[in-house]
Amino acid sequence: MSHAKVYLAVDLGASSGRVVAGVFEDDRVRLEDVHRFPNGGVHVGDRLHWDLLGLWSHIQDGLRAASLRYGDQVVSVGVDTWGVDFGLLGRGDVVLGNPYHYRDRRTAGIFPKAFALAPREEIFAQTGLQFMEFNTLFQLLAMKQEDSPLLDVAESFLMIPDLFHWLLTGEKVNEATNVSTTQCYNPQTRTWARPLLAKMGLPTHILGQIVEPGTNLGKLQKTAADATGLTGADVILPGTHDTASAVMAVPAASRPGAAPDWCYISSGTWSLMGVESPEPVVTDLCRELNFTNEGGVGGVTRLLKNIAGLWLVQECRRIWTQQGRELGWDELVQRAAESKPLVALIDPDHASFTAPASMPQAIRDFCKNTGQPVPETEGAVIRCALESLALRYRLVLSWLEKLTGSRIETIHIVGGGVNNKLLCQMAADACNRRVVAGPSEATALGNVLVQAVSAGQLDSIAQAREVVRQSFEVEEYTPQNAGPWDEAFARFQKLVK
């Protein structure tokens, strides 16, 4: 292994974080887990925050473990996280409080207040982003309307991964793929949407330099190098938005200049479904369908839509565990597989599923309120959730084909959701398309691939995707029984209007 090169991905998700090593030998890469740790929101009174300092301690522990394991084989490290959330620094780079969690309720009902300052059409024209209450723009507006003292003294705005890159290097930059999730960014000019922010009375002097994935920030600063042992490693920005990194690892063959004939679903707590587009699609139809234009690795646009994802199943399992019913993921899926198909359906993106006190009860209530049979067993509840997700994929697929003007032949599913084989087959059946599932560790993989391209280990994104095809097995699912899904889709469409 002496000739192997190692790139470290710090991969933070909403419920857990990890440090993963991408070990490159010849034309293959393998991922090795170094350190895992829990993550989640912390309630402070009635507010929900991220534990910034706790996460930083875990990251340093993981990097120290990697340094001990790989030594001077470590070339670089990069951090990816979820989007939209941010921290603020004051004079002398003082951290101004723990960052808010995107599920904090302070942005509830914010849209009318925002649209009174700038119409919905104008916000979309400047940002090309789908409207979700927790977008950074609305978080900042909520702070302003609460007369937050933090905005008064803030001097620097850093997204969550930017904060950790600053802690590692002392460099304050805003990485482009995460910036593109804020609704404070213009994807057509590739600059901050300063006119919009000024119109809404939000500070623009706190916004920093936007830099692209692959940017090398240099070595770790002394305190971080001493704490981790990574004295020789560089810090290289991946696509710091986890979906940008996950899409980087989709094992699709490139067709330069051609319309996309594949789409991706980055499947985890959220399902992010979209295509790679050479340019942003900022049209009335895009706005009406509430799609988003986010930045991708290599200057592409990720035209996509957020779908609730496996949050529905995770929350059901959490509630049942609280009630003393410990059900493993495999057992839940098995019970769902044994339940009667296509009985009751939900709209996965209905507001009632955003943060309910009890997800199983919220699913039953939705079915009852829409005049459907109420799923009583755990298996029936999970089957309802998974089938509804698959039908949501079908609806979003039809919209993607409208927006791009081309037929999508293949759906690539990456991320942890590939391990749910029942959902993958449902997606193939519901959409009547070929599904290619894998790799499951796409986010960490995309992170290390960008570092490897930046460091010269790989020549291009196309070569990086070829390395993925060489290194990881994928599973293919073909449609089995489309008829019943057509009937179910007709019912589903009436539920989501």
Catalytic residues: 242
Distance CA 180, CA 169 (A): 23
Q: Which residues contact 130 (CB under 8 A, 6 or more apart)?
A: 290, 291, 292, 305, 306
Query: Which residue type is seen at 325?
Result: R
Distance, CA of 286 to chain centre: 20
Kindly report the length of the chain. 497
Q: Is the peptide bond before 439 cis (omega within 30 degrees of 0)?
A: yes
Distance CA 180, CA 241 (A): 9
Label residue 433 left, alpha or beta by phi (over 0 means left) and psi (-120 to 50 means alpha). beta
Closest CA to 193 of 134, 128, 142: 128
Angle 312-318-322 from CA coordinates, rounded to 5°: 145
Exposed / middle / buried, residue 337 (Cβ in 10 Å: 0-12, 13-18, 19+): middle
Q: What is the per-residue burial (b if ≥16 Cβ within 10 Å, else e) of 55-81?
A: bbebbbbbbbbbbeebeebbbbbbbbb
